[in-house]
Chain A
Amino acid sequence: MKTITLRRVVVTGIGAISNLGSTATATWAAMKAGKSGISPLRSFPQNEDWSVRFAGEIHDFDPSHVVDGREQKRIDRVALFAMVAAHEAVQDSGLDLKNAADPYRNGTIIGSGIGGVLTMEEGHTKLLQTGPRRVSPFVVPRLMVNAAPGNVSIQFNLRGPSTAVASACASSGHAMGIAMQAIQRGDCDVMVAGGAEAAITPLTLSAFASMKALSTRNDDPARASRPFDKDRDGFVLSEGAAIVVLEELEHAKKRGARIYAELAGYGATGDAFHIAAPDEQGSGAYKAMETALRDAELTVSDVGYINAHGTSTPLGDKAEVGAVKRLFGDHAYKVAMSSTKSMTGHALGAAGGIETIPTIMAIYEGILAPTINLDNADEGFDLNFVPNVAQEARVNVALNNTFGFGGHNVSLVFKRYS
Protein backbone atom coordinates (compact mmCIF):
# COMPACT_ATOMS: atom_id res chain seq x y z
CA MET A 1 0.00 0.00 0.00
CA LYS A 2 1.23 3.46 -0.87
CA THR A 3 1.97 5.67 2.13
CA ILE A 4 1.72 9.41 1.67
CA THR A 5 3.39 12.03 3.83
CA LEU A 6 1.23 15.10 3.70
CA ARG A 7 2.91 18.35 2.72
CA ARG A 8 2.02 21.79 4.12
CA VAL A 9 0.02 24.32 2.12
CA VAL A 10 0.21 28.11 2.40
CA VAL A 11 -1.62 31.05 0.88
CA THR A 12 0.71 33.27 -1.13
CA GLY A 13 -1.72 35.30 -3.25
CA ILE A 14 -5.22 36.74 -2.89
CA GLY A 15 -7.51 38.28 -5.50
CA ALA A 16 -11.17 39.26 -5.56
CA ILE A 17 -13.88 41.29 -7.15
CA SER A 18 -16.92 42.14 -5.06
CA ASN A 19 -19.58 44.78 -4.62
CA LEU A 20 -17.24 46.35 -2.05
CA GLY A 21 -14.33 46.78 -4.46
CA SER A 22 -12.74 45.63 -7.69
CA THR A 23 -9.76 44.03 -5.92
CA ALA A 24 -9.13 42.00 -2.77
CA THR A 25 -7.31 45.00 -1.30
CA ALA A 26 -10.28 47.32 -1.89
CA THR A 27 -12.74 44.69 -0.66
CA TRP A 28 -10.79 44.22 2.58
CA ALA A 29 -10.48 47.98 3.14
CA ALA A 30 -14.27 48.35 2.79
CA MET A 31 -14.89 45.41 5.13
CA LYS A 32 -12.69 46.93 7.83
CA ALA A 33 -14.65 50.17 7.46
CA GLY A 34 -17.97 48.32 7.81
CA LYS A 35 -19.38 49.39 4.44
CA SER A 36 -22.36 47.86 2.68
CA GLY A 37 -22.22 46.78 -0.98
CA ILE A 38 -26.00 46.39 -1.29
CA SER A 39 -28.03 48.76 -3.48
CA PRO A 40 -31.25 49.03 -5.52
CA LEU A 41 -31.22 46.63 -8.49
CA ARG A 42 -29.97 48.04 -11.79
CA SER A 43 -29.30 45.12 -14.13
CA PHE A 44 -32.85 44.51 -15.31
CA PRO A 45 -36.17 46.37 -15.07
CA GLN A 46 -38.58 45.46 -12.29
CA ASN A 47 -42.16 46.45 -11.48
CA GLU A 48 -44.07 46.11 -8.22
CA ASP A 49 -44.63 42.40 -8.94
CA TRP A 50 -41.06 41.88 -7.76
CA SER A 51 -40.96 41.35 -4.02
CA VAL A 52 -37.19 41.93 -3.97
CA ARG A 53 -35.82 45.02 -5.74
CA PHE A 54 -32.24 45.22 -4.50
CA ALA A 55 -29.10 43.09 -4.55
CA GLY A 56 -25.36 43.11 -4.11
CA GLU A 57 -24.52 43.88 -7.72
CA ILE A 58 -21.09 44.80 -9.01
CA HIS A 59 -21.62 48.00 -10.97
CA ASP A 60 -19.59 49.06 -14.03
CA PHE A 61 -17.60 45.81 -14.26
CA ASP A 62 -14.77 46.12 -16.76
CA PRO A 63 -12.45 43.15 -17.27
CA SER A 64 -10.52 44.81 -20.13
CA HIS A 65 -7.22 44.78 -18.21
CA VAL A 66 -7.38 40.98 -18.19
CA VAL A 67 -9.50 39.89 -21.18
CA ASP A 68 -9.72 41.72 -24.50
CA GLY A 69 -13.00 42.74 -26.08
CA ARG A 70 -13.21 39.84 -28.50
CA GLU A 71 -12.67 37.24 -25.78
CA GLN A 72 -15.13 38.98 -23.46
CA LYS A 73 -17.97 38.14 -25.86
CA ARG A 74 -17.12 34.45 -25.59
CA ILE A 75 -17.07 34.31 -21.79
CA ASP A 76 -19.92 34.69 -19.29
CA ARG A 77 -19.76 37.27 -16.51
CA VAL A 78 -19.12 34.53 -13.93
CA ALA A 79 -15.92 33.30 -15.59
CA LEU A 80 -14.81 36.89 -16.26
CA PHE A 81 -15.14 37.56 -12.52
CA ALA A 82 -12.96 34.49 -11.86
CA MET A 83 -10.33 35.57 -14.40
CA VAL A 84 -10.10 39.08 -12.95
CA ALA A 85 -9.74 37.72 -9.41
CA ALA A 86 -7.20 35.10 -10.56
CA HIS A 87 -5.18 37.80 -12.31
CA GLU A 88 -4.87 39.76 -9.07
CA ALA A 89 -4.13 36.67 -6.97
CA VAL A 90 -1.39 35.36 -9.25
CA GLN A 91 0.16 38.82 -9.57
CA ASP A 92 0.01 39.16 -5.78
CA SER A 93 1.81 35.81 -5.36
CA GLY A 94 4.72 36.89 -7.56
CA LEU A 95 4.59 33.56 -9.43
CA ASP A 96 5.21 33.47 -13.17
CA LEU A 97 2.83 30.61 -13.86
CA LYS A 98 2.59 31.20 -17.61
CA ASN A 99 6.26 30.35 -18.04
CA ALA A 100 6.43 27.59 -15.44
CA ALA A 101 9.14 24.98 -16.02
CA ASP A 102 6.59 22.21 -15.47
CA PRO A 103 3.04 23.49 -15.98
CA TYR A 104 1.64 20.09 -14.97
CA ARG A 105 2.56 20.97 -11.35
CA ASN A 106 0.08 23.87 -11.38
CA GLY A 107 -3.69 23.50 -11.37
CA THR A 108 -7.02 25.16 -10.65
CA ILE A 109 -10.27 24.36 -8.89
CA ILE A 110 -12.98 27.01 -8.96
CA GLY A 111 -16.43 26.59 -7.48
CA SER A 112 -19.70 28.08 -8.66
CA GLY A 113 -23.18 27.34 -7.43
CA ILE A 114 -24.98 28.07 -10.68
CA GLY A 115 -22.48 28.84 -13.46
CA GLY A 116 -23.38 30.91 -16.51
CA VAL A 117 -27.07 31.35 -15.83
CA LEU A 118 -27.09 34.78 -17.48
CA THR A 119 -26.04 33.11 -20.74
CA MET A 120 -28.62 30.36 -20.18
CA GLU A 121 -31.43 32.88 -19.84
CA GLU A 122 -30.34 35.03 -22.77
CA GLY A 123 -29.85 31.95 -24.96
CA HIS A 124 -33.25 30.59 -24.04
CA THR A 125 -34.93 33.91 -24.78
CA LYS A 126 -33.22 33.98 -28.18
CA LEU A 127 -34.37 30.43 -28.87
CA LEU A 128 -37.99 31.31 -28.14
CA GLN A 129 -37.86 34.56 -30.09
CA THR A 130 -35.90 33.56 -33.19
CA GLY A 131 -35.78 29.78 -33.31
CA PRO A 132 -33.06 27.16 -33.02
CA ARG A 133 -30.88 28.37 -35.90
CA ARG A 134 -30.13 31.64 -34.10
CA VAL A 135 -28.83 30.13 -30.83
CA SER A 136 -25.22 31.25 -30.41
CA PRO A 137 -22.48 28.62 -30.65
CA PHE A 138 -20.96 30.28 -27.58
CA VAL A 139 -23.88 29.36 -25.31
CA VAL A 140 -22.36 26.09 -24.09
CA PRO A 141 -18.79 27.28 -23.47
CA ARG A 142 -20.23 30.31 -21.68
CA LEU A 143 -22.81 28.63 -19.48
CA MET A 144 -21.02 25.47 -18.34
CA VAL A 145 -20.24 25.55 -14.63
CA ASN A 146 -16.60 24.62 -15.34
CA ALA A 147 -16.09 27.60 -17.67
CA ALA A 148 -14.29 29.49 -14.88
CA PRO A 149 -11.51 26.92 -14.26
CA GLY A 150 -11.36 26.18 -17.99
CA ASN A 151 -10.66 29.81 -18.84
CA VAL A 152 -8.34 30.34 -15.87
CA SER A 153 -6.29 27.28 -16.88
CA ILE A 154 -5.81 28.86 -20.32
CA GLN A 155 -5.07 32.26 -18.76
CA PHE A 156 -2.10 30.89 -16.77
CA ASN A 157 -1.14 27.72 -18.68
CA LEU A 158 -2.22 25.52 -15.76
CA ARG A 159 -1.95 21.92 -16.92
CA GLY A 160 -2.28 20.09 -13.62
CA PRO A 161 -5.64 19.23 -12.03
CA SER A 162 -8.36 21.51 -13.43
CA THR A 163 -11.97 21.22 -12.40
CA ALA A 164 -15.06 22.91 -11.03
CA VAL A 165 -16.99 22.25 -7.87
CA ALA A 166 -20.73 22.82 -7.64
CA SER A 167 -22.13 22.56 -4.13
CA ALA A 168 -24.27 25.69 -4.06
CA CYS A 169 -23.07 28.12 -1.41
CA ALA A 170 -20.37 25.72 -0.18
CA SER A 171 -18.67 25.57 -3.61
CA SER A 172 -15.72 27.81 -2.76
CA GLY A 173 -15.05 25.92 0.45
CA HIS A 174 -14.93 22.58 -1.34
CA ALA A 175 -12.78 24.07 -4.11
CA MET A 176 -10.12 25.34 -1.69
CA GLY A 177 -10.27 22.23 0.48
CA ILE A 178 -9.83 19.82 -2.42
CA ALA A 179 -7.09 22.03 -3.90
CA MET A 180 -5.30 21.94 -0.54
CA GLN A 181 -5.46 18.15 -0.53
CA ALA A 182 -4.07 17.94 -4.08
CA ILE A 183 -0.99 19.87 -2.93
CA GLN A 184 -0.74 17.97 0.37
CA ARG A 185 -0.70 14.65 -1.48
CA GLY A 186 1.93 15.84 -3.93
CA ASP A 187 -0.24 15.87 -7.06
CA CYS A 188 0.87 19.45 -7.71
CA ASP A 189 2.67 22.41 -6.10
CA VAL A 190 0.44 25.38 -6.89
CA MET A 191 -3.35 25.60 -7.08
CA VAL A 192 -5.34 28.64 -8.19
CA ALA A 193 -8.51 28.05 -6.17
CA GLY A 194 -11.68 29.80 -5.11
CA GLY A 195 -15.16 30.57 -6.35
CA ALA A 196 -17.17 32.77 -8.65
CA GLU A 197 -20.85 33.63 -9.09
CA ALA A 198 -22.83 35.95 -11.34
CA ALA A 199 -26.42 34.92 -10.82
CA ILE A 200 -28.34 38.13 -10.24
CA THR A 201 -30.74 37.40 -13.09
CA PRO A 202 -34.53 37.60 -13.44
CA LEU A 203 -34.95 33.83 -13.11
CA THR A 204 -32.60 33.35 -10.18
CA LEU A 205 -33.79 36.35 -8.20
CA SER A 206 -37.45 35.44 -8.66
CA ALA A 207 -36.76 31.80 -7.80
CA PHE A 208 -34.94 32.62 -4.56
CA ALA A 209 -37.75 35.09 -3.75
CA SER A 210 -40.32 32.33 -4.30
CA MET A 211 -38.47 30.20 -1.75
CA LYS A 212 -38.89 33.09 0.73
CA ALA A 213 -35.13 32.91 1.19
CA LEU A 214 -34.45 36.60 0.45
CA SER A 215 -34.79 39.72 2.55
CA THR A 216 -37.58 42.00 1.32
CA ARG A 217 -36.32 45.15 3.02
CA ASN A 218 -36.74 47.18 -0.18
CA ASP A 219 -36.92 50.50 1.63
CA ASP A 220 -33.45 50.12 3.16
CA PRO A 221 -31.22 47.80 1.07
CA ALA A 222 -27.96 48.61 2.85
CA ARG A 223 -29.49 47.42 6.11
CA ALA A 224 -31.19 44.31 4.69
CA SER A 225 -28.38 41.83 5.33
CA ARG A 226 -28.33 41.60 9.13
CA PRO A 227 -26.94 38.27 10.30
CA PHE A 228 -27.64 37.36 13.94
CA ASP A 229 -29.97 40.37 14.37
CA LYS A 230 -33.45 39.59 15.65
CA ASP A 231 -35.01 41.48 12.71
CA ARG A 232 -33.18 39.53 9.99
CA ASP A 233 -35.55 38.35 7.26
CA GLY A 234 -33.47 36.48 4.70
CA PHE A 235 -30.30 36.81 2.65
CA VAL A 236 -29.37 39.36 0.00
CA LEU A 237 -28.40 37.95 -3.39
CA SER A 238 -24.99 39.16 -4.52
CA GLU A 239 -22.18 38.25 -6.91
CA GLY A 240 -18.41 38.29 -7.33
CA ALA A 241 -15.36 36.07 -7.19
CA ALA A 242 -12.35 35.42 -5.02
CA ILE A 243 -9.30 33.36 -5.78
CA VAL A 244 -6.33 32.38 -3.64
CA VAL A 245 -2.98 31.01 -4.73
CA LEU A 246 -2.29 27.92 -2.65
CA GLU A 247 1.29 26.77 -2.67
CA GLU A 248 3.32 23.97 -1.15
CA LEU A 249 5.31 25.41 1.77
CA GLU A 250 8.85 24.53 0.61
CA HIS A 251 8.02 25.76 -2.91
CA ALA A 252 6.97 29.10 -1.41
CA LYS A 253 9.94 29.36 0.95
CA LYS A 254 12.42 28.59 -1.79
CA ARG A 255 11.36 31.64 -3.77
CA GLY A 256 11.02 33.87 -0.73
CA ALA A 257 7.28 34.32 -1.17
CA ARG A 258 5.15 36.34 1.23
CA ILE A 259 3.02 33.89 3.19
CA TYR A 260 -0.34 35.18 4.40
CA ALA A 261 -1.30 32.08 6.36
CA GLU A 262 -1.27 28.31 6.26
CA LEU A 263 -4.34 26.42 5.06
CA ALA A 264 -4.19 23.62 7.56
CA GLY A 265 -7.54 21.88 7.71
CA TYR A 266 -10.61 20.96 5.69
CA GLY A 267 -13.78 19.43 7.02
CA ALA A 268 -16.73 18.53 4.79
CA THR A 269 -20.04 16.92 5.69
CA GLY A 270 -23.57 16.48 4.36
CA ASP A 271 -26.77 17.08 6.33
CA ALA A 272 -28.73 14.29 4.61
CA PHE A 273 -31.80 16.15 5.84
CA HIS A 274 -33.55 18.56 3.45
CA ILE A 275 -32.61 19.85 0.01
CA ALA A 276 -32.84 23.53 0.96
CA ALA A 277 -33.49 23.90 4.70
CA PRO A 278 -30.67 23.64 7.23
CA ASP A 279 -30.65 20.93 9.86
CA GLU A 280 -31.93 23.02 12.79
CA GLN A 281 -29.46 21.43 15.18
CA GLY A 282 -26.59 22.32 12.86
CA SER A 283 -25.25 18.78 13.24
CA GLY A 284 -23.52 18.80 9.87
CA ALA A 285 -21.99 22.21 10.52
CA TYR A 286 -20.77 21.02 13.93
CA LYS A 287 -19.15 17.95 12.40
CA ALA A 288 -17.56 19.96 9.56
CA MET A 289 -15.86 22.31 12.04
CA GLU A 290 -14.81 19.41 14.29
CA THR A 291 -13.38 17.48 11.33
CA ALA A 292 -11.53 20.51 9.97
CA LEU A 293 -9.87 21.17 13.33
CA ARG A 294 -8.88 17.53 13.67
CA ASP A 295 -7.47 17.62 10.13
CA ALA A 296 -5.37 20.63 11.17
CA GLU A 297 -4.31 18.87 14.40
CA LEU A 298 -5.76 21.73 16.42
CA THR A 299 -8.46 22.04 19.07
CA VAL A 300 -11.29 24.52 19.65
CA SER A 301 -9.21 26.40 22.23
CA ASP A 302 -6.69 27.34 19.51
CA VAL A 303 -9.34 29.21 17.49
CA GLY A 304 -9.55 33.01 17.75
CA TYR A 305 -11.90 33.92 14.92
CA ILE A 306 -14.68 32.34 12.89
CA ASN A 307 -15.92 33.85 9.66
CA ALA A 308 -19.47 32.56 9.87
CA HIS A 309 -21.58 31.38 6.98
CA GLY A 310 -24.17 33.70 8.63
CA THR A 311 -26.45 34.45 5.69
CA SER A 312 -29.04 36.43 7.66
CA THR A 313 -31.77 33.80 7.32
CA PRO A 314 -33.73 33.06 10.51
CA LEU A 315 -33.02 29.30 10.56
CA GLY A 316 -29.50 29.20 9.10
CA ASP A 317 -27.99 31.64 11.59
CA LYS A 318 -29.66 29.84 14.48
CA ALA A 319 -28.29 26.46 13.43
CA GLU A 320 -24.75 27.84 13.02
CA VAL A 321 -24.69 29.70 16.34
CA GLY A 322 -26.02 26.58 18.06
CA ALA A 323 -23.37 24.39 16.43
CA VAL A 324 -20.55 26.76 17.44
CA LYS A 325 -21.80 26.96 21.03
CA ARG A 326 -22.02 23.19 21.36
CA LEU A 327 -18.66 22.49 19.75
CA PHE A 328 -16.70 25.27 21.44
CA GLY A 329 -18.31 25.07 24.90
CA ASP A 330 -16.91 27.76 27.22
CA HIS A 331 -14.35 28.78 24.61
CA ALA A 332 -17.23 30.01 22.41
CA TYR A 333 -17.24 33.14 24.58
CA LYS A 334 -13.58 33.80 23.86
CA VAL A 335 -13.90 33.42 20.08
CA ALA A 336 -14.98 36.26 17.80
CA MET A 337 -17.44 35.24 15.06
CA SER A 338 -18.54 37.74 12.43
CA SER A 339 -20.53 37.47 9.24
CA THR A 340 -19.11 39.64 6.47
CA LYS A 341 -22.22 38.80 4.43
CA SER A 342 -23.73 41.67 6.41
CA MET A 343 -21.68 43.87 4.03
CA THR A 344 -21.36 41.84 0.82
CA GLY A 345 -24.66 40.00 0.82
CA HIS A 346 -24.58 36.35 -0.23
CA ALA A 347 -22.51 35.62 -3.34
CA LEU A 348 -23.56 31.94 -3.29
CA GLY A 349 -20.73 29.83 -4.74
CA ALA A 350 -18.29 32.74 -4.43
CA ALA A 351 -19.15 33.46 -0.80
CA GLY A 352 -16.58 31.18 0.79
CA GLY A 353 -13.89 32.58 -1.46
CA ILE A 354 -14.71 36.21 -0.69
CA GLU A 355 -14.81 35.31 3.00
CA THR A 356 -11.30 33.85 2.97
CA ILE A 357 -10.12 37.48 2.79
CA PRO A 358 -11.38 38.50 6.25
CA THR A 359 -10.46 35.04 7.58
CA ILE A 360 -6.85 35.24 6.43
CA MET A 361 -6.53 38.94 7.25
CA ALA A 362 -7.70 38.33 10.82
CA ILE A 363 -4.47 36.35 11.18
CA TYR A 364 -2.22 38.41 8.92
CA GLU A 365 -3.29 41.92 10.00
CA GLY A 366 -4.89 41.25 13.37
CA ILE A 367 -8.13 42.97 12.44
CA LEU A 368 -11.56 41.36 12.68
CA ALA A 369 -14.11 42.55 10.12
CA PRO A 370 -17.46 43.41 11.71
CA THR A 371 -21.01 42.12 11.40
CA ILE A 372 -22.80 45.31 10.40
CA ASN A 373 -26.52 46.00 10.92
CA LEU A 374 -26.38 44.10 14.20
CA ASP A 375 -28.61 46.29 16.36
CA ASN A 376 -30.22 43.68 18.59
CA ALA A 377 -28.76 40.19 18.69
CA ASP A 378 -31.40 37.45 18.59
CA GLU A 379 -32.35 35.58 21.72
CA GLY A 380 -29.58 33.30 22.91
CA PHE A 381 -27.11 34.79 20.41
CA ASP A 382 -24.63 35.85 23.07
CA LEU A 383 -21.27 35.51 21.32
CA ASN A 384 -18.87 38.23 20.20
CA PHE A 385 -20.21 38.83 16.69
CA VAL A 386 -17.91 41.85 16.25
CA PRO A 387 -20.98 44.11 16.06
CA ASN A 388 -20.84 47.01 13.61
CA VAL A 389 -17.22 48.06 14.18
CA ALA A 390 -13.99 46.17 13.40
CA GLN A 391 -11.96 44.88 16.35
CA GLU A 392 -8.24 44.31 16.82
CA ALA A 393 -7.09 40.93 18.06
CA ARG A 394 -4.14 38.60 17.76
CA VAL A 395 -5.51 35.54 16.00
CA ASN A 396 -3.45 32.42 15.38
CA VAL A 397 -6.19 30.18 14.02
CA ALA A 398 -9.33 31.14 12.11
CA LEU A 399 -12.20 29.11 10.64
CA ASN A 400 -14.08 29.89 7.45
CA ASN A 401 -17.53 28.27 7.34
CA THR A 402 -19.58 27.77 4.20
CA PHE A 403 -22.82 25.82 3.99
CA GLY A 404 -24.96 25.22 0.92
CA PHE A 405 -28.39 24.15 -0.31
CA GLY A 406 -28.24 20.40 -0.69
CA GLY A 407 -26.97 20.16 2.89
CA HIS A 408 -23.30 20.70 2.04
CA ASN A 409 -21.10 21.95 4.90
CA VAL A 410 -17.47 22.97 4.67
CA SER A 411 -15.18 24.42 7.28
CA LEU A 412 -11.62 25.48 6.47
CA VAL A 413 -8.91 26.11 9.07
CA PHE A 414 -6.32 28.80 8.43
CA LYS A 415 -3.46 29.29 10.86
CA ARG A 416 -0.60 31.69 11.38
CA TYR A 417 2.46 30.53 9.49
CA SER A 418 5.46 29.93 11.70
Chain B
Amino acid sequence: MSASLSESEIEAKVLEAIADQLGVARSDITRASEFDKICDSLDKAELMMEFEDLFEISITDEAASKLTTVADAIEFIQRTLAGGR
Protein backbone atom coordinates (compact mmCIF):
# COMPACT_ATOMS: atom_id res chain seq x y z
CA MET B 1 0.00 0.00 0.00
CA SER B 2 2.64 2.48 1.10
CA ALA B 3 4.81 1.68 -1.91
CA SER B 4 2.34 3.41 -4.19
CA LEU B 5 2.63 6.79 -2.47
CA SER B 6 3.93 9.67 -4.59
CA GLU B 7 6.66 11.97 -3.27
CA SER B 8 4.19 14.77 -2.65
CA GLU B 9 1.94 12.42 -0.70
CA ILE B 10 4.90 11.32 1.42
CA GLU B 11 5.87 14.94 2.01
CA ALA B 12 2.34 15.87 3.07
CA LYS B 13 2.17 12.96 5.52
CA VAL B 14 5.61 13.74 6.97
CA LEU B 15 4.89 17.44 7.44
CA GLU B 16 1.55 16.67 9.04
CA ALA B 17 3.09 14.11 11.40
CA ILE B 18 5.82 16.53 12.49
CA ALA B 19 3.42 19.43 13.02
CA ASP B 20 1.07 17.18 14.98
CA GLN B 21 3.85 15.70 17.11
CA LEU B 22 5.41 19.05 17.93
CA GLY B 23 2.12 20.87 18.33
CA VAL B 24 3.00 23.58 15.81
CA ALA B 25 1.29 24.93 12.69
CA ARG B 26 1.89 22.94 9.52
CA SER B 27 3.15 26.13 7.87
CA ASP B 28 5.99 26.30 10.45
CA ILE B 29 7.55 23.13 9.04
CA THR B 30 9.23 23.02 5.62
CA ARG B 31 11.49 20.61 3.74
CA ALA B 32 14.44 22.74 4.83
CA SER B 33 13.59 22.55 8.55
CA GLU B 34 16.38 20.96 10.58
CA PHE B 35 15.37 18.49 13.29
CA ASP B 36 17.95 19.95 15.69
CA LYS B 37 16.32 23.36 15.34
CA ILE B 38 12.66 22.36 15.60
CA CYS B 39 12.84 19.70 18.32
CA ASP B 40 15.02 17.90 20.85
CA SER B 41 16.49 14.41 20.59
CA LEU B 42 13.52 12.82 22.37
CA ASP B 43 11.05 14.38 19.95
CA LYS B 44 13.17 13.19 17.05
CA ALA B 45 13.30 9.64 18.41
CA GLU B 46 9.53 9.60 18.72
CA LEU B 47 9.13 11.08 15.24
CA MET B 48 11.18 8.24 13.77
CA MET B 49 8.79 5.77 15.43
CA GLU B 50 5.88 7.68 13.99
CA PHE B 51 7.38 7.47 10.48
CA GLU B 52 7.98 3.74 10.94
CA ASP B 53 4.32 3.23 11.83
CA LEU B 54 2.99 5.59 9.20
CA PHE B 55 4.91 4.12 6.27
CA GLU B 56 5.39 0.57 7.58
CA ILE B 57 9.15 0.80 7.25
CA SER B 58 12.13 0.36 9.54
CA ILE B 59 14.51 3.22 10.36
CA THR B 60 17.66 2.05 12.10
CA ASP B 61 19.37 4.31 14.65
CA GLU B 62 22.25 4.72 12.21
CA ALA B 63 19.92 5.80 9.40
CA ALA B 64 18.06 8.16 11.72
CA SER B 65 21.30 9.83 12.79
CA LYS B 66 21.91 10.83 9.15
CA LEU B 67 18.53 12.52 8.75
CA THR B 68 19.33 16.17 9.43
CA THR B 69 16.52 17.94 7.61
CA VAL B 70 12.90 17.15 6.93
CA ALA B 71 13.86 16.72 3.25
CA ASP B 72 16.36 14.03 4.28
CA ALA B 73 13.57 12.15 6.02
CA ILE B 74 11.20 12.46 3.06
CA GLU B 75 13.88 11.22 0.63
CA PHE B 76 14.86 8.36 2.93
CA ILE B 77 11.26 7.21 3.22
CA GLN B 78 10.78 7.48 -0.55
CA ARG B 79 13.95 5.47 -1.24
CA THR B 80 12.99 2.82 1.28
CA LEU B 81 9.48 2.43 -0.14
CA ALA B 82 10.82 2.33 -3.73
CA GLY B 83 13.32 -0.34 -2.69
CA GLY B 84 10.37 -2.60 -2.00
CA ARG B 85 11.73 -3.36 1.47
> Is B one of A's binding partners?
yes
Spell out A's residues near B (CB within 8 Å): 68-71, 73-74, 133-134, 136-138, 141
CB distance B22 to A138 under 8 Å?
Answer: no
B46 lies within 8 A of chain A by Cβ: yes
CB distance B42 to A70 under 8 Å?
Answer: no
CB distance A69 to B42 under 8 Å?
Answer: no
Q: What residues of chain A lie closer than 8 Å to B42, measured between beta carbons?
A: 74, 137-138, 141
- Bound-complex Cα distance A134 to B59 (A): 12
Q: What residues of chain B lie closer than 8 Å to A134, measured between beta carbons?
A: 49, 53
Nearest-neighbour CB distance to chain B for A165, whole angstroms, equals 26
CB<8 Å pairs between A and B, sample of 18: A68-B23, A69-B23, A70-B24, A71-B23, A73-B23, A74-B42, A133-B49, A133-B52, A134-B49, A134-B53, A136-B46, A136-B49, A137-B41, A137-B42, A137-B45, A138-B42, A138-B46, A141-B42
- Bound-complex Cα distance A156 to B2 (A): 46
Q: What residues of chain B lie closer than 8 Å to A73, measured between beta carbons?
A: 23
Residue of B nearest to A134 (CB): B49
Q: What residues of chain A lie closer than 8 Å to B23, measured between beta carbons?
A: 68-71, 73
Q: What residues of chain A lie closer than 8 Å to B53, measured between beta carbons?
A: 134
Q: What residues of chain A lie closer than 8 Å to B22, measured between beta carbons?
A: 70
Q: What residues of chain B lie closer than 8 Å to A137, measured between beta carbons?
A: 41-42, 45-46
Q: What residues of chain A lie closer than 8 Å to B24, measured between beta carbons?
A: 70
Nearest-neighbour CB distance to chain A for B19, whole angstroms, equals 10
Q: What residues of chain B lie closer than 8 Å to A68, measured between beta carbons?
A: 23
10 tightest A-B CB contacts, nearest first: A70-B23, A137-B45, A137-B42, A69-B23, A137-B46, A70-B22, A136-B46, A134-B49, A138-B42, A68-B23
Q: What residues of chain B lie closer than 8 Å to A141, measured between beta carbons?
A: 42
- Bound-complex Cα distance A71 to B23 (A): 8
- Bound-complex Cα distance A138 to B46 (A): 8
Nearest-neighbour CB distance to chain B for A407, whole angstroms, equals 38
Residue of A nearest to B22 (CB): A70
- Bound-complex Cα distance A74 to B41 (A): 13
Nearest-neighbour CB distance to chain A for B22, whole angstroms, equals 6
Instruction: Bits for B40-68, please: 1 = Cβ < 8 Å to A, else 0.
Output: 01100110010011000000000000000
Nearest-neighbour CB distance to chain B for A143, whole angstroms, equals 14
Q: What residues of chain B lie closer than 8 Å to A74, measured between beta carbons?
A: 42
- Bound-complex Cα distance A71 to B39 (A): 12
Q: What residues of chain A lie closer than 8 Å to B46, measured between beta carbons?
A: 136-138
- Bound-complex Cα distance A69 to B25 (A): 12
- Bound-complex Cα distance A155 to B39 (A): 19
Q: What residues of chain B lie closer than 8 Å to A71, measured between beta carbons?
A: 23
Best-buried of B22, B23, B24, B41 by chain A (most CB within 10 Å) = B23
Nearest-neighbour CB distance to chain A for B80, whole angstroms, equals 16
- Bound-complex Cα distance A74 to B40 (A): 12
- Bound-complex Cα distance A363 to B52 (A): 59
Q: What residues of chain A lie closer than 8 Å to B45, measured between beta carbons?
A: 137
Residue of A nearest to B44 (CB): A137
- Bound-complex Cα distance A335 to B45 (A): 58
- Bound-complex Cα distance A323 to B63 (A): 65
- Bound-complex Cα distance A71 to B42 (A): 12
Nearest-neighbour CB distance to chain A for B42, whole angstroms, equals 4
- Bound-complex Cα distance A141 to B40 (A): 13
- Bound-complex Cα distance A68 to B22 (A): 11
- Bound-complex Cα distance A11 to B45 (A): 42
- For the complex with contacts A136-B46, A137-B41, A138-B46, 16 further pairs of A-B residues with Cβ separation under 8 Å are A68-B23, A70-B22, A70-B23, A70-B24, A71-B23, A73-B23, A74-B42, A133-B49, A133-B52, A134-B49, A134-B53, A136-B49, A137-B42, A137-B45, A137-B46, A138-B42
Nearest-neighbour CB distance to chain A for B82, whole angstroms, equals 23
Q: What residues of chain B lie closer than 8 Å to A69, measured between beta carbons?
A: 23
Nearest-neighbour CB distance to chain A for B16, whole angstroms, equals 15
Nearest-neighbour CB distance to chain B for A136, whole angstroms, equals 6
- Bound-complex Cα distance A74 to B49 (A): 15
Q: What residues of chain B lie closer than 8 Å to A70, measured between beta carbons?
A: 22-24
- Bound-complex Cα distance A137 to B46 (A): 6
Residue of B nearest to A141 (CB): B42
